[in-house]
Structure formats: structure tokens, C-alpha cells
Amino acid sequence: MSILSIKNLSKTYQSGSRKLTVLDEVNFDIQAGETLAIVGPSGSGKTTLLGLCAGLDSGSTGSVVLNGQSLEKMSEDQRAFVRNKDVGFIFQNFQLLPTLTALENVMVPLELKKRKDARQKAQELLEKVGLGDRATHYPTQLSGGEQQRVSIARAFANEPKILFADEPTGNLDTETGEMIEKLIFDLNKEKGTTLVLVTHDLELAAKTQRIIHIKGGKIQEDVHA
């Protein structure tokens, strides 16, 4: 079953009188449970592509069907609903809410789903990423690697059907990055989540089942291991 289906996806930005084509007729399908990496040079459109796939962004032409739902036809509120129901996202710069503690950050998606056990579930997730004793710390009181572990716990909180990670180790040192990679792959394996990983790191990309190479907003290669 196809969990994500992208057809003729294009995105342009207007800057002054010039039109910048960032994604140019992109097509691919991802099967449920698949793991894949999107690689390409800086500025090639990877983050833009991920944002459209995850329903974070809009304003494209073509179609994005996520778990049977056509995102391009939806309002922002409808997309927010789908995101909370089906999608997890890990960002390069963590994107934790600064006024909330580690525990409260992980609770956000659970509370949006009105889960009564949000606090307990969030605590369990923090323990899973090795931060059970840091629940009451704020993001500024945590190292980069710890913040990314909180964001991983948050991303897995809703048991998403599909997890998008945009250069999740890009802001971390090598050793911390390796720990974060392992955590993402381990949790992914445990939950059987579909994983779409954007990375510069070809060694990391090689740990997935499939690598899509993108350049200038076009897919150059789509290689299954």
C-alpha cells in the first residue's frame, strides 16, 4: 500500500519579477513501512519537498496524497489535523517550544489528540530516549543532542504512520549524531514507521532501503537497495 504518493509536484517562488522553480515535476510513491533517504546538494529543494509531503507547507501544483488524503485540496486546519494524526517530524534545529518543559513538549501532540494519559505516555517516551530525569528542564537547559532526543520523543508520541526527518543530525557533533541516528532507526524498527530522511550524509543514507537523489528540484535517481 502506498502511504505517500507524489504526482507532478512543482513549487515556485516569486522573487521580484523573477520566478524561481524550486521543485520541478517531482513524482514518487512510498510504500507503508519503507525507509528512504532524500539526498542532494544544499538548495536542491529537499526541505521544500519534505514540507509539502508532511503538509507543513502549501502553494504547490500537482498532488500529494498522504495515507489516502489529498493534502493540496485541504485548508490549513485540515492539514494540521492530518499532521497530528499521521505525521511525525524531526527538524535540524529541533524546534521545541521554548516556554514548555521537555515533558510538556512531548505532551503537545498527545494533548491535541485529547489523550487522557498524555503525561504518563510522554514520561514513558522521555525514558525511552534516556531523558526520564530531565522532564522538568526547559530546552535552553538541554544540550543540542538532548533537545533532539526530546524532539524524537515528540515525533513518535502519536505513533505516526510516517516520520519525516530533515537533516536530524546536521547541528550535532559526530558522536551525538550517531546516537541520534541509532535512536531514530531503533524506534522506527520497533514501531514499523515509514521513514523519510533528508541527509547530506551518504553513509547514513545507505542505512535506508532506498535513496532518492535530487538536484535543482528534479529527481535525478531513485535507487532501491
Ligand X SMILES: Nc1ncnc2c1ncn2[C@@H]1O[C@H](COP(=O)(O)OP(=O)(O)O)[C@@H](O)[C@H]1O
37 binds, among Mg ion, ligand X, none (CB under 5 to 8 A by kind): none
- Number of residues near ligand X (by CB under 6 A): 12
In the chain, what is the greatest distance between 2 CA atoms, to the nearest angstrom? 54
* CB atoms inside a 10 Å sphere around CB 63: 14
Nearest one of 217, 182, 185, 211 to 198, comparing CA atoms:
211
Least distance (Å) from ligand X to the CB of residue 71? 17
| Using rule CB under 5 A, residue 105 touches Mg ion | no
| Using rule CB under 6 A, residue 199 touches ligand X | no
55 binds, among ligand X, Mg ion, none (CB under 5 to 8 A by kind): none
Least distance (Å) from Mg ion to the CB of residue 23? 13
Q: Which of 9, 26, 28, 44 binds ligand X (CB under 6 A)?
A: 44
Per DSSP, what are the bridge partners of residue 10? 61
| Using rule CB under 6 A, residue 45 touches ligand X | yes
| Using rule CB under 6 A, residue 47 touches ligand X | yes
Please check whether residue 210 is in contact with residue 34, taking contact to mean a CB–CB distance below 8 angstroms: yes
202 binds, among Mg ion, ligand X, none (CB under 5 to 8 A by kind): none
Site for ligand X in 13-42 (CB under 6 A): 13, 15, 20, 22, 40, 42
| Using rule CB under 5 A, residue 47 touches Mg ion | yes
| Using rule CB under 6 A, residue 75 touches ligand X | no
In the chain, the amino acid numbered 87 is V
| Using rule CB under 6 A, residue 168 touches ligand X | no
Please check whether residue 106 is in contact with residue 182, taking contact to mean a CB–CB distance below 8 angstroms: no
Nearest one of 196, 214, 221, 199 to 66, comparing CA atoms:
196
| Using rule CB under 6 A, residue 159 touches ligand X | no
Q: Binding marks (x or -) toward Mg ion, 48..67, rule CB under 5 A?
A: --------------------
| Using rule CB under 6 A, residue 127 touches ligand X | no
Residues that bind Mg ion (CB under 5 A): 46-47
Residues that bind ligand X (CB under 6 A): 13, 15, 20, 22, 40, 42-48
